[in-house]
Amino acid sequence: MAEALLPGLPDEIVIWEILVRLPPKSLLRCRAVCRAWRRTTSTRAFLLAHHGRQPSLPVVCGFDGYNQSILAFDHRAAADAWLRPVARLDGERFFCLQASCDGLLVFSATTAAWRPCLAVCNPATRQSALLRHPRDASLFGVLGMYLHRPSGEYRLLLHRTSGRPAILGHDPLPERRTGCYVSALGSDQPPRYIGGPAAAASALGFYTPALVRDCLHWSPVGSCKVVTVFDTAAESFRQMRAPIAPTKLSIFQLDGKLGIYSNDNATKAVDVWVLPNYEGEVWEHKYRVELPAAEIRGQFGGRGGRLNVSVVSAGDAVLLLLICGQWLFYVDVDGVLVDSFSCDGQKLYACGLALKQTLVPHAFFTALEDYTVNASPFI
């Protein structure tokens, strides 16, 4: 008869009620305890349940002039530990974080031969690989990443920015239409054209969408005052009403619902709306947060510099992250400066993306080029 995982408790409880609660780092250490622990924490079912329990943490990127850092913001962690590094990536070939979904991060990168491409990595498993398509990533912008439930594939929504031919003949696509394309991670097929709002698509690329109810939502862009919605199962676009406001708006996800905030750097207050009833499309003004500007400027010596405001959600709480240079300020909805963080030598960016760590070893990694584990780009 097999040894019990924890003498005194049935395996079912040890696996599904105890081990599954551990954060990824602790869980990986537990695999080194004994073989049975390693075996039971490596099954797909376990890893999916474990991933399901992970919090979705707002991501902050740092750039020190050469290398990229990915930091995760956990407001429930102890003071001084709420912004913690997740991974550092070699900046020589990995550039900008483009999309995130379920613990996977997609970056713009280059191959060893300096061809622009996209790369996918999982900071918890330290797996990384270059995507085969699009062959010339400089032609495309990444609008978002999603799990396409009908097929179970992770897919990228791309928009083709120009009809020009690829550099050095890297684009075998006869298709050169501008507009939206869909590409599955790990696929051998070139991106598939799906049309979409071509005119708005390139503008959408500047904004991070919010994934709610299996649809990607972008805040209103330009003169258009609607929320653009992409249904990830049907892979089609539609529109939704947005709150009426004179300022630029940014969309975010809050506990499975949509939120929008005003993003005008000139004002000293941030307005936040939420959408409690998705079908009704009626936005409710929830908060008006007066930013503690004086306190903030006092903290970093009154040096100038634009303060970038981003509203993020952590669980069901709304927080504001204010970034200027290497400084990050964490403000709550009452306008109180809760804490501040300075990352020496790095310039910080709140990219509006979230990371829900996963130890699930996705199959597509091994099928891709330049597949590495525990190696570059992770440093």
Partner 1 sequence: MDSTADPKGKRPLYQEDGLAYARAAAAAASATAAAAPDEEEAKPKPKPSSSSEEAKPEPEAEDQAEMPPLVLVAEDGVEVSISRRAARMSHMLRLLMEDSCADGPIPAPNVHSDILDLVVQYCEKHGPYYDPEASERARNPFPPFPVELTPTVSSIKPVTYVDPDPHGLKDWDKDFISLDNSTLFEVILAANYLNIEDLLDLGTTTVADMMRGKKPEEIREIFEIENDYTPEQEAELRKENAWAFED
- Residues engaged in binding partner 1 (CB under 8 A): 3, 6-10, 12-13, 16-26, 28-35, 37-38, 48-53, 75, 126, 147, 149, 152, 213, 254-255, 257, 274, 276-280, 286-287, 314, 316-319, 332-334, 336, 338, 373-374, 378
Mention every residue, 6+ apart, whose C-beta is less than 8 A from residue 229: 215, 216, 217, 218, 237, 238, 239, 240
Least distance to partner 1 from the beta carbon of 153, Å? 11
Residue 8 or 302: the one with the smaller Cβ distance to partner 1 is 8
What are the DSSP calls for 123-135, one per residue? TTTTEEEE-S-SS
Contact 257, 248 (CB under 8 A): no
DSSP state letters, 64-81:
-SS-EEEEEE-TTSPTT-
Q: How far is the CB of 150 from partner 1 (least distance, A)?
A: 9
Q: What is the spatial distance between Cα 16 and Cα 169, in angstroms, rounded to a whole number?
A: 52
- Are the C-beta atoms of residues 370 and 115 closer than 8 Å to each other? no
Which residue, 47 or 166, has its beta carbon nearer to partner 1? 47
Q: Is 59 helix (H, G, I), strand (E, B) or coil?
A: strand
Residue 321 beta carbon to partner 1: minimum distance, rounded to whole angstroms: 12
Residue 6's Cβ-side half-sphere holds a number of Cα atoms within 13 Å equal to: 13
For residue 78, the minimal CB distance to partner 1 (Å) is 12
The answer to whether 197 and 157 have CB atoms below 8 angstroms apart is no
Shortest distance, CB of residue 177 to partner 1, whole angstroms? Answer: 32
Q: Are 143 and 180 in contact (CB under 8 A)?
A: yes
| Helices and strands (DSSP H and E) totals, the chain | 7, 25
Which H or E element spans position 27?
A: helix 24-30
Taking the C-alpha atoms of residue 121 and residue 106, their distance in angstroms, rounded to an integer, is 6
CB of 353 to partner 1, least distance (A): 20
Q: What is the DSSP string of 274-300?
A: EES-TTTT--EEEEEEE--HHHHHHHT
DSSP-assigned beta bridge partners for residue 350: 60
Nearer to partner 1, 10 or 305 (CB): 10
Q: Which is nearer to partner 1, 173 or 254 (CB)?
A: 254
Interatomic CA distance for residues 195 and 294, integer angstroms: 48
- List beta partners, residue 139: none
